Structure 1
Amino acid sequence: MTGFPGTQPMHGDEVRLTIDTATVTFTGEVSSQGVLRDGRGFVELTLPDVDPQQRRDVEWAKQFWYELYRGGALLYSSPPLTLSEIRRTGDGSLVIAGSP
C-alpha cells in the first residue's frame, strides 16, 4: 500500500524507517497520520523514543521512507519523503514529519 495516509491515524507496533542506506526499526506504539499545514501535505510519524542512537541517526537524515506494520502485517509503505521536522511530544515520543 502506498500513497498519502489520511488524516485518521494508523496505529502499528513496528516501523522500519529507511534513511540514506540504513534501516532503523522502531518497535512499540507507533502511528502515522497525514496532516495539512499551510496548504501542504505532510506525514507525521510518531515513534517511541527509546534509543538515543536511533534518534541521532534520524536527526542527520535528509530523506526517509518507512513501512508501518501491525502484528507482522504491512499497513502502509510511504514514498520517499523529505524530512521537515523532528520533535518530541509531552510523553517523550518522537515525531518525524516529512513531505513528498
Structure 2
Amino acid sequence: MTDFPGPTPMHGDTVELTVGAFWATITGKITSRGVLVDGRGFVELVLPDGDPQQRRVLERAGTYQYRLYDGGVLLYSSPYLQVRETRRESDGALVVVGSP
C-alpha cells in the first residue's frame, strides 16, 4: 500500500468512497494520482462516468475519504480530504480534487 499517491497514476477497479455518513462502492476504471499546483500537493481521484448525483454529493459534503483497490488488493487508503474541485472530463469521468 502507498502512503501518498505520487505523480505516477495508480489504477484500480474499485473504490470505497466515504462522504460524511454516506458511503458508496464504485467499480470501473478508477485512477488516483498526486498533483502539485503552485507548490501545494493535491490528490485527483478519477471515477468512471456514473450517477450525476455523485458530483453534487461531494460538493455539498466538503470532505471525503477513499480506499482504492485493484483485484481486491488495497492500493491506497486516503486520510479525510477537503474537496477543492470537482469537474467532468470530456469522456464523462468525474474528477475530484482534494487535499488534507
Same fold (TM over 0.5): yes
**Aligned-partner Cα distance in 2 for 1:73–1:48:** 19
2:75 matched residue in structure 1: 75
1:97 matched residue in structure 2: 97
Task: Decide whether the 8 Å contact of 1:14 with 1:70 is kept in 2.
Answer: yes
TM normalised by structure 1 equals: 0.92
Which amino acid is the alignment partner of residue 30 of structure 2?
Answer: V
Deviating runs (4+, > 2 A) in structure 1? 52-56
TM normalised by structure 2 equals: 0.92
Give per-residue Cα distances to partners, 1:18-57, cap 9 Å, x unaligned.
Answer: 0011112211000000000011000000001211233332
2:48 matched residue in structure 1: 48
2:23 matched residue in structure 1: 23
Task: Decide whether the 8 Å contact of 2:11 with 2:31 is kept in 1.
Answer: yes
Task: Decide whether the 8 Å contact of 1:2 with 1:79 is kept in 2.
Answer: no
Matched residue SS, 2:61:
coil
Sequence identity percentage = 61
State how many pairs are aligned. Answer: 100
TM-align CA RMSD: 1.2
Gaps of 5+ in 1: none
